[in-house]
Structure 1
């Protein structure tokens, strides 16, 4: 489940989208959860309104994964397969196979999602949809570079994938995946039907019953911070924001689409900073930059326009820029100083919740004893500055003058080790 936060975050930027069999390793759980809990009304209406039962299984799976922190191997595999097949259905209906590939690649889950969806489609008898998925999987295996470039929007859509969208639509007209899925679900002996009024509590109790939940919460918290502090795109955009004439702070990255950036077609991402206006940004192997966001009219497609290009913004004036060497330096120092674990530990010691913290890279200050890396941290509605050094870390507020809490390097190493070990169980 976990090797090292740094390796995971570094590989995320350049992970190839190669289809491989689903991971075969099992967690420490002796067997998957014995039941799948759904509300009675969803089962009673399964024939006439199958979407409610499919959504109920989706909700159960998401509660076990996100709230209970069970692994995918600790959940009933048929439920996982229904959930992943429904992801496939929703993504293709929304933005086609191109969007499905892109969104799965963002989370590095494409191979697992395909494996589960394949098994689910075969079991429920959705043969036409399975044929489309198989063709897509074959294309991804043969064209990994092109798969990485898919966005679901104009400029990031391969023509072959558009033909699969048509094939999928024909299969849906012949036999609805939702209907087939619901019929399969009601046949499961593992299905536990609970009165609607009690269903939420029953699911919550099962989620909270995971004996490994608390340790995995720590692992997930540090992992989220690692993606922001060791991931190339996040670090690069944070530094580019800090280099703007009126320095800004990266708050959230949004969807990406291929746009004209300084005369070249590049993947640009929506960006929210502490400025009032939205931004656009790019992160490439050579640099990162942020730009003004120029909205376009009309927001809907014209008759002669590709619908996936409708409403696309234009890239305006460049506001901030950073070269690859500066990005790499911050990432290397963040790894060496255990910066993600430091932010998690310091926020906990200061009485703040680290699990939803936002971190933005700011600057590197060379010093005789080792460089100091400055970060902006937002948690529980408060803004902090975090200084990471070879000797430890300090969380400050009030213009970097008031030291709120500190931790030395030995504490950080111990906290990192605890978080890393939690990912192995």
Structure 2
């Protein structure tokens, strides 16, 4: 069955030669995947419970676009319509039509078109009427549309006026059962034994001829951000240059905290040594201790704690400086990494490993001239959710990947290979 299904997917992908709908500025492509795969358990739950089937569709589109790296024009029009209709539903229920408009950002035109086409196909005409009013307002007020957030000061009254009718409509005729009914009757829908789903999805993933190139572009973009954003680059440098090296694993959300008596924006940071705080100062970037006076965090559920525990709980504090780097050091390191094409070199090195490996975070240890008088950078690379780490030595002549901590050579690439790879990315 698996082979037959993948052959069906391959045939569907190769047989379509034009866009599912004529949108201006839509890129032309030669292949299209007209297949939607959901687990049998989702179909079995329908119609008593519509949620598993809608969730399965959302998960399928997420897999295709995020892991299999298909773009929105290369997958079933019905799938992307259902996905965006559910996105519309979730956004409006959470923060109104203004939030939907604001959070859609640069994709608003395409997302709105999918929502309207999907609601038409589902015959959800009451919901459609509200979506069309929103679409009309967006078309007539492009500058105001850019200012929408769904929060105070970012809610247009015309959009707010659509919210209560939407909520009342949801009480009387919820959208998800309508969506599930439509999905269940799609000709391109294929239910698969739940146990087979991982293999089927991986098989579909291999059908994308642009998979490796697109994965590389995504990985490189993340590495470029880490090696150019002053905060991210600085925090990585501070950890890698600390007395006891502690490369970064994650930079989390920011929040205002008391730092040396001043209300200061801080970021939660995870290094190989544990939790830290990061902050940007007038002189540079600091990595600071994460001090928890309680020795533990407050339980997530109130039923698991006591009133005494809550009232005696003391918030975590920003402690002493672990290490810091100056803005001048960050700027100089940024320039070296850019000149050496370090993000691209690291992606090429990891791609040469026998197993799938993706960098979580990179931390620059040092930059400067090597013994061979080459400009170079030594970069600590943490991969696969912190499960493995390497050192990347990137120089003008090329780059090599070393094991940690033994520094045995694993793979290498030459400057010529890096240049050819860049030309290939630009042409793709």
TM-score, with length taken from structure 2: 0.68
**Which one has more relative contact order, counting CA pairs under 8 Å at least 6 apart?**
1
Shift of residue 132 of structure 1? 10
The partner residue of 2:365 within 362, 365, 368 is 362
**Residue 242, structure 1, aligned to residue 240, structure 2:** yes
Give, in angstroms, the shift of residue 402 of structure 1: 5.0
Does the residue aligned with 2:34 lie in a helix, a strand or coil? coil
2:231 counterpart of 1:229: no
Question: What CA RMSD, in Å, does the superposition of the two structures yield over aligned residues?
Answer: 4.6
Contact 2:401–2:409 (Cα < 8 Å) also in 1: yes
Matched, 1:386 2:396: no
Identify if the C-alpha distance between structure 1 residues 300 and 240 changes in structure 2 by more than 3 Å, giving closer, same or farther: farther
Structure-2 separation of matches of 1:239 and 1:355 = 20
Q: Which residue of 2 aligns with 1:281?
A: 278
CA contact (8 A) 1:270 1:279 kept: yes
CA contact (8 A) 2:102 2:145 kept: no
Equivalent position of 2:305 in the other structure: none
Match of 1:418 among 412, 416, 424: 424
Contact 1:121 1:129 in 2 (8 A): no
* Equivalent residue runs for 1:280-359 within 5 Å: 280-282=277-279, 287-293=284-290, 316-317=318-319, 319=321, 320-349=323-352, 351=354, 353-356=356-359, 358-359=361-362
Q: 1:172 pairs with 139, 157, 170, which one?
A: 170
Against the structure 1 CA distance between its residues 323 and 181, is the aligned structure 2 distance closer, same or farther, given a 3 Å change threshold? farther
TM-score after normalising by structure 1: 0.68
Q: 1:357 to 1:419 in 2, by over 3 A?
A: farther
CA offset at residue 57 of structure 1? 1.1
Residue 63 of structure 1, CA deviation: 2.9
Structure 1: segments with no counterpart, 5+ residues = 1-21, 151-156, 302-310
Q: CA deviation at 1:338?
A: 1.6
Residues 359 and 197 of structure 1, relative CA distance in 2, 3 Å threshold: closer
Q: Deviations over 1:143-187 (max 9, x none)?
A: 85885xx9xxxxxx5465699697465553344232232233235
Q: Which moved more, 1:395-404 or 1:200-209?
A: 395-404
Q: Distance in 2 between matches of 1:344 and 1:383?
A: 14
Give the match's secondary structure for 2:73.
Answer: helix
SS of equivalent to 1:74:
coil
Indicate if the aligned counterparts of 2:36 and 2:189 stay in contact, CA closer than 8 A.
yes
Tell me the equivalent position of 1:154: none
Shift of 1:249: 1.2
Q: CA deviation at 1:36?
A: 1.9
Q: Tell which deviates more after alignment, 118-127 or 342-351.
A: 118-127
Shift of 1:274: 0.8
Are positions 1:376 and 2:373 aligned together? no
Range with bigger deviation, 347-356 or 245-254: 347-356
**Cross-structure match for 2:57:** 57
**C-alpha distance in 2, partners of 1:129/1:285?**
49
Instruction: Sort the Cα spacing of 1:187 and 1:136 in 2 relative to 1 into closer, same or farther, 3 A.
Output: farther
In structure 2, distance between residues paired with 1:160 and 1:97: 11
Q: Kindly provide the CA deviation profile for residues 113-155 of structure 1, in whole angstroms up to 9, marking residues without a partner as x.
A: 56645654565433587489769979995385885xx9xxxxx
Asked if 1:38 corresponds to 2:38, the answer is yes
Partner of 1:153: none
Alpha-carbon distance in structure 1 between the residues aligned to 2:129 and 2:314: 33
1:395 matched to 2:398? The reply is: no
Say which of 397, 403, 407 aligns to 2:413: 407
Distance 1:258 1:347 in 2: 34
